Structure 1
Amino acid sequence: MTRSVYVTGIDRGDGRQVVELGVMELLTRQVDRVGVFRPLVHDGPDRLFDLLRARYRLSQDPASGYGLDYHEASAIQAEQGTDELVSRLVDRFHAVARDYDVVLVLGTDFADTQLPDELAINARLANEFGASVVPVVGGRRQTSESVRAEVRNAYRAYDGLGCDVLAMVVNRVVPGDRDEIAERLEGTLPVPAYVLPDDPALAAPTVAQITHHLGGTVLLGDDSGLARNALNFVFGGAMLPNLLNALTPGCMVVTPGDRADLVVGSLAAHSAGTPPIAGVLLTLNERPGEAILKLADRLAPGTPVVAVEGGSFPTAAELFSLEGKLNAATPRKAETALGLFERYVDTAELLKSVQAPSSDRVTPMMFEHKLLEQARADKRRVVLPEGTEERVLRAADVLLRRGVCDLTLLGPVEQIRKKAADLGVDLTGAEIIDPQTSDLRERFAAAYAQLRAHKGVTVELAYDVVADVNYFGTLMVQEGLADGMVSGSVHSTAATIRPAFEIIKTKPDAAIVSSVFFMCLADKVLVYGDCAVNPDPDAHQLADIATQSAVTAARFGVEPRIAMLSYSTGTSGTGADVDKVREATELVRERRPDLKIEGPIQYDAAVEPSVAATKLPGSEVAGQASVLIFPDLNTGNNTYKAVQRSAGAIAVGPVLQGLRKPVNDLSRGALVGDIVNTVAITAIQAQTPTEKAAQ
């Protein structure tokens, strides 16, 4: 069984970080404790290790993450031989491996290493580490035939040196050649060969990286602006109309600092969205006057304006040799890289080959990974009514880069595009609709008027109602133009779900609409219901909440063992509140005899085996409950918040259940990650066919 995966190459410039990040993503889905080891390092910070450590919340000491620096390794090899070098690196590796379930090994980079036969060293290290190998071949500026030959040669080289090759990865091929190369490689090797196209956004430096590299001074701009990718460079020296014609989306304008007309014109074009630019770079250490800078700031707030000392020609030489890198300061590049990896690599096949030891623990990160993977497996369209909200736009950026689902954003089109450009958010692939001007408005008005005719709603009144983004989004779901909706980051719960009650309505087998939270604890996921919708459900409603919650839990990989919570356990207590829970428990047993359920039961007896052994010995639920049903909203809402804040749990939800089609509400304090998770959950809910869900 593989305990480590060694990602390596055959030459420099293969963009291997994309593959290393992708493999790390796969490993963290499978196990809780993943270590990272780089046998040889250059002087200075290891940016990829810092990215992995930040993104995957690694507790690993950075000092343990590498073996030797290249200078020391070269000296040892020259003076004492390769065997001594390998021996020292193996010792360092095992010092890491004993503390982790699996280790990702980052091979040498073939760049100014002064090590003879570097490929053979990587192969030997992989063998000594007991690691399986994923070799990466760079395909940039190569023909499809040369790539095919190089991949076959690389496989033979590593296989011939005794390596256990899991798969071959070709990276950075010309996008137009990608399908042809993949087709020509298929079936030619005994292992899978995955082909990834070149993505300009990954190689493009961010404005922050350019500023750092050139020693520039930021005159204007915020963190979002500095995080934008400079996809191209346009050098300004001509008159303004000619410059405007040369601008391309994501370009950085490079101009002498005394050309105030070009600075103002470029930023005005960005403000108008024709096209959005990355920023402006001023050369010759010339800076516009204070009045021009104030105007520029008003025209395009947040867009960077950076001054450097060099002239245009030496600056150009520096810029064209600069390549963007993945690091902890470029989270958008990481999302792009993962999206690319997950789109072109059969991750299920590769993970099966890795055979990393499965963990019985389910950490919050593992649960979140599973959500994205499950949503991506059968992509659905989710409508986001709050299209002008910054957090929603940032979440949309992540969802689109990762290919989690298709998106529709609602709101004024130009306002959304401008806000996205100011934030450096890429909405490529998203549909943007303004309910006020959409051709769908009349159709939706007629549909809503028909649904609400019994309430006296006319088409004229409906025409005004459906212009509201939440009503418009709900009607998109009802009419089959979207599969689900997520709102609530700036709207109340009532404003979000009232349209769903009026339009989508409940499933035939659901008495009420209720909700659950997925409570991600350190080592497991619990399902809490109902903590958001029903204030004081009666016994029949409580039974309905329990059965719905069990279905939802199973849908997301949590085996349902239901605890009907009360202030007493078993037959120890009496009273109206306990009797309600006892009756609800019996109703569930009658309706769904296949479900494991216990109630009434106290929280400690539900989740703690030692307490359960005393209070309810022999119960198949007590001590190991996974679905906890609270008797009323007051108890449920306070409990989930107490656990969230005091135990450091991640609360994902509320997830609504009981509707014919999925609509979910966000907390108005929702973070970007919360929105991403909720959208993924909504997409997964939509994957169940409506007919089946209604049964």
Structure 2
Amino acid sequence: MKTIVLVPTGEGVGLTSACLGLIYALECQGVNIGFLKPFSQDQFSDEDRTTALYRHLSHQQTVEPIAYSTVMQQLSLGEQDELLEEAVRLHREVAKNHDFIIVEGLVPNGHDRFVDDLNASLVQALDAKVVIVSQADLNQPAICADKVENQIRHFGGADTTRLSGILFMRTKGLSEESAQIPVTLDPNLRLTTETAQFTQALQKIHAHIGTEKLPVIGLVPFSKTLSVPRMSDLAAHISAHWINEGEASQRRVQHSSLISANIEHELHKFVAGELIISASDRIDVLLASSLASSNGIPLAGLVLTENHQPNNSVLNFCQSAIKQGLPILHTTLNTFETAQKLSNLSNEIPVDDTERAQQVTRFVSSHLNPDWLTATLNGSYQPRLSPSAFRHELVQKSIAAKKRIVLPEGDEPRTIQAAAICQSRGIAHCILLAKPEAVVDLAKARGIELPNDLEIIDPDLIRETYVSSMVELRKGKINELQAREQLQDSVVLGTMMLALDQVDGLVSGAVHTTANTVRPAFQLIKTAPDYSLVSSVFFMLLPDEVYVYGDCAINPDPNAEQLAEIAIQSADSAKAFGIDPRIAMISYSTGTSGTGADVEKVAEATRIAKERRPDLLIDGPLQYDAASVESVGRSKAPDSKVAGRANVFIFPDLNTGNTTYKAVQRSANVVSVGPMLQGLNKPVNDLSRGALVDDIVFTIALTAIQAEQQSD
């Protein structure tokens, strides 16, 4: 069992972010990674922040740390050995289900004098390696080197074999461009040159820092973007109450502005992500905020200060902004006091801010040295396709594919942002179908930076060129007039571009229904030569493994032949994304234990699928528990190579499939990627209308990989 203890040089170094980032980087390598915080230092809360964030992000359980009061009591009684024995017990508990454990050490501070000694004893008790975590300032290498050196002494100095590396967090002295936020682990963001230069500067003070024995494993920039709170985090801090909560849990405070001068001189401050702070009697500020929101500018929110809040007639005048989710707070503090309190807001990630925690983990992991990660693992684990590894592989494969993906909903804000991310990261070459000026205006209002090579095509300028081709493709079914009318729909237009090989794939559905997205594909793209139908799969990102569910979105009641085809399509999709398929044909009965038309359909589908594809591991009928739980599988189907080990689940009908995927997704808080359509000549994929930006990015990546697979 490999264990690394992260030991900070002091307070505020970003220890939680370092732990989560290292966990994510190892997960992307396919490691079954666990987390342990043995000792709590929080005197006022029963919930440990890092432990809670680990649970939220990984969807895995871990043990609770030993309470601060217990730590203090045992140390005061001279029972450090007993305290360490309990820490070892907790470590063994986590080790039962994991190959590798990251441990968060204690933070040196002004009042807990026992910290350094207990950290050193903990490392020995767990037989662990140590990563020193410290802040860095490129302009002050001597201070940084001394902080690291002071911490190293507690573990035996430079000659000890315990030290594994140094991770510098919240690094100052770097350009703003160095703080890009990745979609998933992105080693291209690593600051190789800056790390080498800073290491040389450190070695002038302490020569062993940065050597092969004690490498600098990462230089993580300070990011203003990742330090931003949500509007919902502000209320308690400034003793405020909500006039309108709106989208307070989604909107983030990128900057804040006090409005004190005449409004005509302050209008430049009303931009995306801005927190507007103003006295509550400034009705002009409230109206300007409302107008900005109505113009599509997503302000972070509005804080009104001092004794009296606006009357209802003024608030009624601002209903359009309120309906669009503008968060509005009122506090009895004065404007100066409010601004001062907000400037002292902690940079720590709140326990419930999963979105920010996910961004931070990806950001930190992208700045870690991959060679150090490889050397640290050194063949000590069995690789698995964890959710993090799946997403990482998804992005890397799509970057390698270099495909052109058309996005018919080109003026939809989430789609614009996803396209910008994909274009700048090389995930795909994206084509937005929209009026260029509309895209530019929306991007400007929302603070989205459009890459120069992002392609935006005005549908009005190209529709006519597809009329004759569409008539030809649907010969005998539509005339030119009907083709022109249908091409007014941007999804139909994008599908025509795909049909004529001008793009490699299509993603739609952020505002269109599934039928709107899929119908043109059925009519113009049609099914691949080996298939008679189109089906779908969801990739279910469970904590320990990625499952494939099919069909949960397209075919209401497939017959045995069609069900066999869905199984084969789903198996090939699984293979394309790095999953070695073990296919279970799901039924309410396992083997011959039940009878009825539905069971017979699944049994016949299993026979057909095995006959068509003898290379696949496939079995059925299997009940869901017999397919997924090893002990049940051994009991109900002892001779099966699939039972208890299935990772591709084929449901007998849409009712069963859709219900099961949603039940698992919601009840177990599982991320699902999809639906991904399969069986078409060319890839077309549908989004949920509630899709987040990241969902769209990963669907674009899926589509690019499908296109690459179909071109082989």
Q: TM-score range by the shorter chain?
A: 0.7 to 0.9
Distance 1:323 1:612, change over 3 A: closer
Partner secondary structure for residue 373 of structure 2: helix
Residue of structure 1 equivalent to 2:187:
none
Q: 1:111 to 1:464 in 2, by over 3 A?
A: farther
Once the two structures are TM-superposed, the CA of residue 265 in structure 1 deviates from its matched residue by 1.8
SS of 1:172 mapped into structure 2: strand
1:294 paired to 2:307 = no
Aligned CA distance change for structure 1 residues 639 and 579 (closer, same or farther; 3 Å): closer
1:22 is aligned to 2:21: yes
* Deviation per residue, 1:165-217 (Å, 9 max, x gap): 44432222244185442242579432452122221122233333332112122
Preserved CA contact (<8 Å) 1:605 1:612:
yes
Q: Which residue of 2 is the match for residue 640 of structure 1?
A: 657
Q: SS at 1:322's partner residue?
A: coil
2:266 counterpart letter in structure 1: L
Q: TM-score, normalised by structure 1?
A: 0.77
Per the alignment, residue 360 of structure 2 pairs with 337
- Aligned to 1:196, what secondary structure does the other structure show? strand
- Matched residue, 1:128: 125
What secondary structure, in the 3-state scheme, does the structure 1 residue paired with 2:315 have? helix
The question of whether the paired residues in 2 share the 8 Å contact of 1:133 and 1:167 is answered with: yes
Please give the alpha-carbon distance, in whole angstroms, between the structure 2 residues aligned to 1:38 and 1:609. 32
Give 3-state SS (helix, strand or coil) of 2:351's partner.
Answer: coil
Change (3 A) 1:393 1:542: closer
- What amino acid does structure 2 have at the position aligned with 1:221? E
Q: Which residue of 1 aligns with 2:220?
A: 196
**1:634-663 deviations in whole A, cap 9, x for unaligned?**
x32233246457776767644321224332
Map 1:630-669 to 2 at 5 A. Answer: 635-641=652-658, 643-644=660-661, 653-666=674-687
Matches of 1:292 and 1:168, distance apart in 2: 56
Is 1:212 aligned to 2:212, yes or no?
no
Say if 2:289 is the partner of 1:263: no
Equivalence for 1:684:
702
* CA shift digits 1:208-238 (9 cap, x unpaired): 333211212222232x235432222212111
Q: Is the 8 A contact 1:14 1:172 kept in 2?
A: yes
Q: What CA distance in whole angstroms lies between the structure 2 residues aligned with 1:294 and 1:429?
A: 36
Cα 1:652–1:316 shift into 2, 3 Å: closer
Task: Please give the per-residue CA displacement for 1:345-404, whole angstroms capped at 9, x wherever unaligned.
Answer: 3569637725797579x8xxx7533332222324457666567889x6799699889989
Q: Secondary structure at the match of 1:228?
A: coil
Given that residues 590 and 636 in structure 2 are in contact (C-alpha distance below 8 angstroms), is that contact kept between their aligned partners in structure 1?
Answer: no
Distance 2:691 2:169 in 1: 30
Contact persistence 1:506–1:513 (CA under 8 A): yes
Q: Cα distance 1:152–1:474, how it changes in 2: closer, same or farther (>3 A)? A: farther
Secondary structure in structure 2 of the residue aligned to 1:225: coil
CA-to-aligned-CA distance 1:272-302 (integer Å, 9 cap, x gap): 24x5422222233242232222223433542
Contact 2:557 2:654 in 1 (8 A): no
1:91 equivalent in structure 2: 85
Task: Normalising by structure 2, report the TM-score.
Answer: 0.75
Instruction: Tell me how far apart the structure 2 counterparts of residues 245 and 53 of structure 1 sit (CA, whole Å).
Output: 42
Between the aligned partners of 2:278 and 2:88, the Cα distance in structure 1 is 53
Deviates more, 1:241-250 or 1:438-447: 438-447
| Matched length | 664
Contact 2:617 2:641 in 1 (8 A): yes
Q: 1:637/1:336 Cα in 2 relative to 1: closer, same or farther (>3 Å)?
A: same
- Give the conservation status (yes or no) of the 8 Å contact 1:166–1:350: no
Question: What letter corresponds to residue 181 of structure 1 in structure 2?
Answer: E
Q: Percent identity?
A: 27
Partners of 2:271 and 2:658 in 1: how far apart?
48
> How far apart, CA to CA, are the structure 2 residues paired with 1:604 and 1:96?
30
Larger deviation, residues 329-338 vs 474-483: 474-483
1:51 matched residue in structure 2: 53
Amino acid paired to 1:182: T
Task: Say if 1:683 and 1:147 are closer, same or farther in 2 by CA, change over 3 A.
Answer: farther
Q: How far has the Cα of 1:585 moved from its partner?
A: 4.0
Q: CA RMSD in A?
A: 5.0
* 1:277 lines up with 2:299 in the alignment: yes
SS in 1 for 2:579: coil
Aligned-partner Cα distance in 1 for 2:636–2:351: 49
Question: Which aligned pairs between 1:156-555 and structure 2 lie closer than 5 A?
Answer: 157=153, 160=157, 162=160, 164-173=162-171, 174-176=173-175, 179=191, 180-184=193-197, 188-190=210-212, 191=215, 193-222=217-246, 224-225=247-248, 227-273=250-296, 276-300=298-322, 301-345=324-368, 350=373, 353-354=376-377, 367-379=386-398, 438-443=457-462, 445-447=464-466, 449-455=468-474, 462-475=483-496, 484-488=505-509, 491-518=512-539, 527-534=548-555, 544-555=565-576
Contact persistence 2:599–2:621 (CA under 8 A): no
Matched, 1:100 2:100: no
- Measured in 1, the distance between the counterparts of 2:453 and 2:325 equals 23
Asked if the contact 1:585/1:597 (under 8 Å) is kept, the reply is no
**Structure 2 Cα separation of the partners of residues 463 and 307 of structure 1:** 54
Hey, what's the Cα distance between the residues in 1 that align with 2:471 and 2:175? Answer: 52
Q: Which residue of 1 aligns with 2:710?
A: 693
Contact between 2:290 and 2:320, CA under 8 Å: does it hold in 1?
no
CA 322–23 in structure 1, closer or farther in 2 if over 3 Å, else same: same
Hey, what's the Cα distance between the residues in 1 that align with 2:545 and 2:332?
A: 55
The verdict on how the C-alpha distance between 1:694 and 1:155 changes in structure 2, with shifts beyond 3 A counting, is farther
Q: Separation in 2 of the partners of 1:315 and 1:138?
A: 29
Amino acid at match of 1:289: N
Q: Secondary structure at the match of 2:352?
A: coil
